[in-house]
A and B are shown apart, each in its own frame.
Chain A
C-alpha cells in the first residue's frame, strides 16, 4: 500500500455563515480506494462540505486532510491531484466538447505530450466520440453530465469529489452514470459522492455517512446501517390519515419505531417484535428507512 490510508479525513470541521452553522463538527473519512456516499437532506451541509474540500469554503474550525495534504494551506496541491464534478453544470457552453477538455487539460497541468491522449481517453470514457466537435449547448442533459464527469477525470485523479452527480436526470441517464462511477471505483479511485438519492448511495457506496444539520449522524455499510436502524424487515401499513395516526400511536406505545412513508406508516424492525401484528405489506428494511429515521421527517 503506497498511499495514505485515507483519501479524505475530516475531524471536527465547523463552517459558519453568520448566524447559520452549515457544518457543525463534522468527522468524515474516505478510506483510500473506496466510495463513500454523503447522504443528507437539502441543507444538511453536504455542498458546504464539498466546497471545503476544494478550499472554496474555508472552515472555521477543525482538521482537514485531503490526499495527505493539510487544508487550506496545501489545498492547491490537493486540488491538482483530485477531480471535481460540481453539482451545477459549469461547462463552457459555447465551446465544443473537445475545447472544454483542452481548457481543463491546461488547468490541470496535463503535460503537453500527454494532452491529446488524455482528451481522447476522457471522450472515450464519457462516450462522446461522435460529439467531439459538438458545441456543449447542443448536447443533451445526459451528455453534458457525462462530459462534466469526464472533465474531472482529465488528469487521472486519485480522488474524485462528486457533488450530486445525477441530480435532475432521468432514470436511464442515471443508470448510465452509475455504471461509469462504478467503473471508476473498480479501478481503485477513491470517491466521495454527495447525494440525496438513497438508491444511488445504496448501489455505489461502500460506506455511507448520513449528515443532518451539519453533523454525521450515522456511518457504515448500507447493509449494516439498515440492520442496525431499520431491521431486516419492516411493515408498511396503509390507511386513511386518521388510521395512520392511530397505528403510529399504538406502535410507539409498544416501543416500536415508525416512520411515515407518505401514504402509509412503516413500522420498523417488525420481525423482532411481532405479536402486535398489523395488517400491512412486509418488506425488507432499506436505507431510506434509516435516512428518514435519522434525519427527521420534516425538512426544515
Chain B
C-alpha cells in the first residue's frame, strides 16, 4: 500500500464493471419528493390540531375585530365593510403564521433536537434540496390554510368573487417567502429562546404597516413608505384586490415583489442552513 501504487490505482482500475456511475443533478425531484413525503406522513399525524387552530383563530379574530371594532367603523372606503376588510386582511396574516412560525420552530427542532436533518443529509439529498423542499411544503400548507379566513369571512357574509380563486396561488408565493424567512431565522439563531426577539421585534411590527386591520393611508408618510417594503402588505393588497377587483399593474408589481422576496429569502435560507448543517 505504498503511496505510488495508490495513486496509480485510479487509472488501472477499469471503469467497466463498476456499477454504472450515476450522475446526479443539483436538483433531483426524488430528493425533493423524499423530503416532501416525510413531511406529508408526519402531517397525517397532527393535521387535526393544525386545522382546528387555523380555522378557530380567524373566526375569533373576525368576531373580535369585525363585530367589535366594526360596530364603530362602518366602512373603510370603496364601499367595503370593516368585516370584509379584516376578513381579507387576515388571509395574509394566516399565511404568515402558518409558514414563518412553523418554519422557524420546525427547522430548529428538526436540526437541534431531532437530528432529522442529519439523517436526511446522509441520504442523497443536499442542503439546497432539503431547504427548498421544506419551503415548498410550508408554502403548500400556507396556501391551503390561508384560505380559512376567507371562507370564514364568506360564511359571515363576504361576497364570493371569481378573483378569489387566485388566493391559493397568492398564498403559495407569499408562504414560500415567509417560510424561507423562518428557516433563515432558525439557521442564524443560537437558541430557541431567541425566537421571542424575532416574533416581538420583527413579526408583530409587520402588522402595523401591512394594512391588515386598518388601511395604510391612515398611517403617517413614513409608515406608508415602510408598508411598501413590507411583503405582508403586498400580500394583503393582492388578496383584497382578488376579492374586490384587480388593479392592473399595481398587482403585477405586488406579485413581482412577493416573488423577489421569496427568491432572496430562499437563497439566504440555503446559505444559512448550509453553514449550520455542513461543517
Contact = CB atoms under 8 A, between A and B. Distances in A.
Contacts of B279: 15, 17, 48, 51, 56-58
B247 interface: no
Contacts of B126: 76
Interface of B: 1, 3, 6, 9, 13, 17-19, 21-24, 30-31, 33-35, 37-38, 41-42, 45-46, 114-116, 118-126, 277-279
Contact of B21 (A2, A77, A104): A77
A256 interface: no
Given A56-B277, A106-B34, A94 B119 contact: no
A103 interface: yes
A56 B278 contact: yes
Given A102-B37, A109-B124, A86 B118 contact: yes
Contacts of A5: 9, 13
B42 A94 contact: yes
Interface of B is mostly: helix
B121 A90 contact: no
Nearest to A4: B13
A103 B34 contact: yes
The 10 nearest A-B residue pairs measured at CB: A107-B34, A90-B115, A80-B124, A57-B279, A106-B34, A84-B122, A2-B17, A107-B123, A90-B119, A103-B38
A11 B6 contact: yes
A24 to B, nearest CB: 15
Contacts of B6: 9, 11
Contacts, number: 109
Nearest to A53: B122
A95 interface: yes
Given A5-B9, A55-B278, A90-B115, A103 B125 contact: no
A174 to B, nearest CB: 22
Nearest to A22: B279
Contacts of A15: 279
A29 interface: yes
Contacts of B34: 103, 106-109
B21 A99 contact: no
A3 interface: yes
Nearest to A15: B279
Contact of A77 (B24, B42, B116, B278): B24
26 contacts: A2-B18, A2-B19, A3-B19, A5-B9, A5-B13, A9-B6, A11-B3, A51-B279, A54-B121, A56-B122, A56-B279, A57-B279, A58-B279, A68-B21, A69-B21, A76-B125, A77-B21, A80-B22, A80-B124, A88-B115, A92-B42, A95-B41, A103-B34, A104-B123, A107-B34, A108-B124
